[in-house]
A = this chain, B = another copy of it.
């Protein structure tokens, strides 16, 4: 499989490194509008033949089988459409596209052309999320009650998209993957500081049937880094802390007994835990290694990858609704099922 990569900013070199490391895959061309980024790649990978400032050199090259797009989200749709139109499989940086409509158009086009779309929802391919998924699938958590995720730090303020489009794709993709159902409604709150209209802090609530609730806090303006997700069920609860070096996933064997007598509260406070906590061993292999392999396998086997265009679309639908809610002062947005 011969691959062309469009976009060599922060993340592009990581993608190149991982695809280049696969057997049977060759990165043959890289495009970026910035000449100095191409020079940087040339030094790292002297074997890459084509380094160009013209995306079309890749999109229209007859020798290229698949295109990896790692550019600002506003260009995802035009570049992705051109790639598919030229018969290339598509590996798209997250979020998939800037609108639901764009996602739907690309999915439709790929189907028509029998091509693969894969969206780089990196966290799905980590050992931590795979472990949590297994635990949920085994029914260990019981009935799911809520999903609460916090992703904050003093981050880079983007100039093109707000904090929801920048950070929330991670949490939303994990939430979608684990809960396995679309929310029926969404509301969101967000504020832009610094005289921009780009929100740098936002809260998203997602409403599901059966009293299941999702909530995501994303924030570019916090003094400490937090990457913490609570997933709570009727039988067990999980804390997933991605900043922990090894014990990223902790499973608490706890339930709730409904205590009617208020005077028993003191005993409750003292006898705080009612079961063991287990931190299972997590496979710490780099997620990007898994993701590049999955793309190659999906293309080779002519099957949908784990995070295909439809998975990407589900994420974009939530992001779009969250933004819509913010634009309407926090109004609840119903989603069609």
Contacts and interface: CB of A to CB of B under 8 A. Distances in A.
A215 B219 CA distance: 12
Interface string A187-224: 10101111000000101010100011101010111111
Interface stretch (A52-60, A113-121, A258-266): A258-266
Given A205-B189, A230-B222, A265-B156, A246 B272 contact: yes
Contact of A258 (B194, B247, B252, B277): B194
Contact of A148 (B156, B217, B281): B217
A79 interface: no
Contacts of A156: 259, 262, 264-265, 268
A269 to B, nearest CB: 8
Residue from the set A157, A158, A220, A262 with the largest chain B CB neighbour count within 10 Å = A262
Contact of A223 (B154, B213, B222, B252): B252
Interface stretch (A81-89, A93-101, A306-314, A324-332): A324-332
Contacts of A212: 191
A325 to B, nearest CB: 9
Contacts of A232: 221-223
Contact of A263 (B9, B159, B263, B277): B9
Given A263-B37, A265-B156, A332-B329, A146 B201 contact: yes
Given A191-B211, A246-B272, A258-B157, A265 B10 contact: yes
Interface in A57-75: 72
A41 interface: no
Given A157-B259, A223-B254, A213 B201 contact: yes
Smallest CB-CB A-B distances: 5 pairs:
A223-B252, A223-B237, A277-B279, A189-B205, A246-B273
